[in-house]
Each structure stands twice: as C-alpha cells, then as structure tokens.
Chains A and B, each alone.
Chain A
Amino acid sequence: MQFLQLVISGIAQGCIYGLIALGFVLIYKATETVNFAQGDLMMLGGFFGLSCMVVLGMPFWVAFLATLAVAMLFGMLMERALLRPLLGQPAFTVVMLTIGIGYLARGMVTMIPGWGTETHTLPVPYKDEVLRVVIGSGDPLILSTEHMVIIAVTAFLIAILFLFFRYTKLGIAMQATSQNQLAAFYMGIPVRRINMLVWGISAAVSACAGLLLAPITFVHVNMGYIGLKAFPAAVVGGFGSIPGALVGGLIIGIVESLAGFYLPEGFKDIAAYILVLVMLVILPNGLFGDKMRKKV
C-alpha cells in the first residue's frame, strides 16, 4: 500500500513535470528555440487564477478556464511582440530573451505589494480531502483529491491535444509546419500565425500546470523553478517528442517520490538529475527520441 501510494503521488507530481515539459517541447518543435520562461508562465498562471478567485470572487472552475484563456492570449502576444521581431536571429539570442522574460515576470510579480512577495493558498473546493479506496483485506489506500484532480485533468488535456493534433486540419498543419517549415510556406500555410498559436497553447498548458500544482505547493513567485525539473523530463523522453515529454515527466515524478521515501535525505532533489545522466549514457536520444523525432 505504501509503495502504491508513493507511486500515485509520484504520478501526480510527474503530470506537472510532464505538462511543463510538453510546453517546452511544443515550442522547441515549432520554432527550434527553448523557452526558459516556461516555468514563469506557470507561476503567472497561478497568480492570475488566484487573483480571479480571491479578488474577483470567481468560482474555481470559472477562474480555471479564464486563466487558460488569458494565458493563451498572453503566449500569443509574447510571440507576436517579442519573439517574431527576432526571427532569423541566432537561437542564442532568443534563448537569452526568454531568460530575460522569466526574470521580468518574477520581478513584476514581486513588485505588487502584499501580493507578489507572499505565499498564497489557492482556495480550491477539493482542498485537503482524501479518498479511501479499500482493496482486498489490507489497509485502505489513501489518495489525496489534489493528486487525483491533477491526474484526471492532465489526462483530459492530453486527450484533447492528441485529438487536435491528429484529426483537425489546423493541428495537422501545426505538425506539418514543425516538420518542414519551408514546405509549409509553399503550401500557403500561414506559418507565422501557426507559430503564434503554438506559443499560446504552450503558455496555456503551463498555466494549467500552475493551477493544478497550486493546492500542493502554494502560489508564490518562485514556484516556476519547478520548470528546472521539467527539463530532465523532456530530456528523458527525448527532447522533441510529445509522448516522450509526458512519459519522461511521469518517470521523474515516480523516481523522485520513491527516492524521497526509501533513500537517505537529499536524494529526492537530485534523483531527477541522476536519472538524466544515466539516461544520456544509455540512451542518448531519450526514450522516444529516435522513432518519434519531429512529430509534434
């Protein structure tokens, strides 16, 4: 039971890593740049959702949807205003810009007095509830609702994204653009608008991760540093693969959870990085790196 419980909480944590990794991968595949502000977009999502609920008094689910919509617009605006003018510049320039955007986001939030410097609790309706599942005659399995919500919402979001990329004309055009941008231009696909949309989706996915994580870790200005764990997730999965990002996230979440319990103090925080090192030696392309390369 103990073990199963650890695995489930690892999966929940892994979903968060997976979602942020997914955000990285979407942008990486579309534009070949790495967005280091991904974690900070998550933090902004957390604060925005918190403001919607606490200041504007919206119910949780309304605030949730509003946050996703605003994050999507924000991501698109960011692409249009900051990244598109840098088109054709070396990748390094773009990476520096995203790092700058991250600092800026944290700085701005800190400047909001009594709000940005505090640690807040997101008043979700399912806070601190547990589910008891009795299996056989043993102890009941105790599952926290927060974890269950994370897993369910992530699964739902992934299913939607999968159907979108697989079956809609726009989704297929996004795949096409990431596989061969020049050919997409030749087919009359509006490549720049498509890339803008990718930034929007990526930001919305990150904000979603922020809202899901908030009941567990609270909303604070540095919550985006969890993005540093999403990197190993993307690498383990094979940078550039969407299923890989999710599986990588889950693996890291589970390993961390188990390491935190069974291994000596301190191992929890480095488990992800040890895993990446081992992974890079054994399978340099990651789990899905070879076959699934360049598939949105």
Chain B
Amino acid sequence: MSDTDVPILQLNNVESSYGPVKAIRGVSLSVKAGSIVTVLGSNGAGKSTILKTISGIIDPRKGSVLYRGQAIQKLDPARIVKLGIVQVPEGREIFPFLTVNENLLMGAYTRPAADKAALANDLEMVFNYFPILRERARQPAGQLSGGQQQMLAISRALLAKPSIILLDEPSLGLSPKLTREIFEIIVRINREHGVTLLVVEQNAMVALKYSDYGYVLEVGRIVMEDACAALLEKEDIKEFYLGMKDSGVRGTRRWKKKKNWR
C-alpha cells in the first residue's frame, strides 16, 4: 500500500460518553489526505463529541482513532496538536483579553522557537487570507465581531502548521454571505496548502457544496455516507437537511419514521 492510500485520519467503531450518557455509538469514518470531508448532523447528534475525541479532549470508551495508520486515541491533546491535528472549536473559543497577535502566537505554541522566519511567513499568509486581522492585530480579540473571531480561530489553527484541521460548525452565527466567504477560504487553504479538512456542520447546503465527501450522523451513529455530489441528490438529505419536502403527507410520514429510529 502506498503512502497516499493510507487515510490521514480514520475512526474505527469509536464510542464516547459523558459519564453515563453515550454521545457517539460506534462511529467509523475515514478521511483521505488532501480532501475536505464533512459530517452533518442536527443538534446533539454527537458531532462535537467526534471532534473532541479526535483531539484527545475526551478519551473514547471503545474503538480506535488512527492518524496516518498510528493509534492516537490515548494521547493527550498537546501531543495530538504536535502530530499535526488541530481543531477550531465550536463557538471559536478565542482568548478574549489577549490581542489578535497574541492569539495567533498561541496557535503556534507547539512549534519550536527556532521557527521564527517560518512563523513570520505564516502570519503573513493568514493576514492575506483575512486582511481584517492585520488591521486589528493589536486589539484584544474579545472586541472582534463573531465573524472576525471565526477568522481568528481558523488563522490561529493554521499557525500550528497542521496537516489536518478539524472545524466545528464554522457557520455558527454567521450570515449566509459570510458563511460562503469563510467556506471559500477554507477551500483555498485546502487547495493552496494541501491541508486536509474535517468539517462538522448543520448547514448541509453549504457544507455539501464545498466538501468532497460527506457523512450523516444521527443520534451518535453514521447513517449515510457518500460523495457530496451524490448526497445532494438523495431524497432524505433534501428533506431533512436542506428543507425541501415534496409532499406534505409523505413528509409527515417520513418524519414519523425518522422519529422511530431514535
């Protein structure tokens, strides 16, 4: 098997819980290096839990997480960042009283100090993606708008020089226009720097449009997977995630059926 055939990230039957609450129940998924993969699911489906498990914030009960074929599910978060997996968490989670610049510097925390020139280069790169951050570089990050904070969170992650970025609902609280802009930059980052992306979303329309491959998560289980173009054609996806119902009667029946799966 050649190097490119090994998925950069693979989850095998991963089960994670919060105390007695099982949040994901046997999730398997695989991310090809250089691709953009999305996981769709509604509130409480377990999307964030998947990403937290990959990042080592919570340890899975069962199953394994493989990074380039190597098991990482027992490593601590700092080790996982060093390996090249970094997360842009749900709700941005910036450092509000540090300046924009200091926030970016914290993104590069795991990089060796000798990396100064490369770091300056990367700062220039994120400022080119998001020019507003250059203007606000010396302001406390808490004074940025929600959209600007999302840009900062993505930039901060980029400064870790990751091979794969985990994005938790980047569209949260953003206007449709800004959401599209952010996704367009995500695609550019992917194309221009070969960074792999695993994007978790509720906004299926946008996520499917910009990603290569998609999984659908319901109550902690993967119920569907396919190339995004194919998923966009599926009836269930159209109905439940894109809000395009054909007929009222059928829609209600399907909805009931969906309820029964729980």
Please list the residues of chain A having a beta carbon within 8 angstroms of any beta carbon in chain B: 169, 172-173, 175-176, 179-180, 182-190, 294-295
Given contacts A186-B87, A188-B78, whether A175 and B95 have CB atoms under 8 Å apart is yes
For the complex, would chain A's binding face be called helix, strand, loop or mixed by DSSP majority? helix
Determine whether B170 belongs to the interface, using a CB cutoff of 8 Å to chain A: no
Question: Given the complex, which residues of B lie within 8 Å of A188, measured CB to CB?
Answer: 77-78, 80-82, 86, 109-110, 160
Among A173, A176, A180, A185, the most chain B Cβ lie within 10 Å of the Cβ of A185
A168: shortest Cβ distance to chain B, in Å?
11
Contact of A186 among B93, B98, B105, B113 (CB under 8 A): B93
Is A175 within 8 A of B96, CB to CB?
no
Determine whether B125 belongs to the interface, using a CB cutoff of 8 Å to chain A: no
Is B89 within 8 A of A189, CB to CB?
no
Given contacts A182-B89, A187-B160, whether A173 and B106 have CB atoms under 8 Å apart is yes
Tell me, in angstroms, the Cα distance from A173 to B81 when the chains sit together.
15
Of all A-B residue pairs in the complex, the 9 with the closest CB atoms, nearest first, are A188-B81, A183-B93, A188-B110, A188-B78, A176-B95, A185-B77, A179-B95, A295-B97, A176-B106
Is A169 within 8 A of B105, CB to CB?
yes
Number of residues of chain B lying within 8 A (CB) of chain A: 26
Is B106 within 8 A of A187, CB to CB?
yes
Question: Given the complex, which residues of A lie within 8 Å of B95, measured CB to CB?
Answer: 175-176, 179-180, 183
Tell me, in angstroms, the Cα distance from A179 to B80 when the chains sit together.
22
Given contacts A186-B86, A187-B81, whether A173 and B109 have CB atoms under 8 Å apart is yes
Question: Given the complex, which residues of B lie within 8 Å of A187, measured CB to CB?
Answer: 81, 86, 106-107, 109-110, 156, 160
Question: Given the complex, which residues of A lie within 8 Å of B80, measured CB to CB?
Answer: 188
Known: A186-B77, A188-B109. 11 other contacts (CB 8 A): A172-B105, A173-B106, A185-B55, A187-B86, A187-B156, A187-B160, A188-B77, A188-B160, A189-B78, A189-B109, A294-B96
Contact of B93 among A169, A182, A189, A190 (CB under 8 A): A182
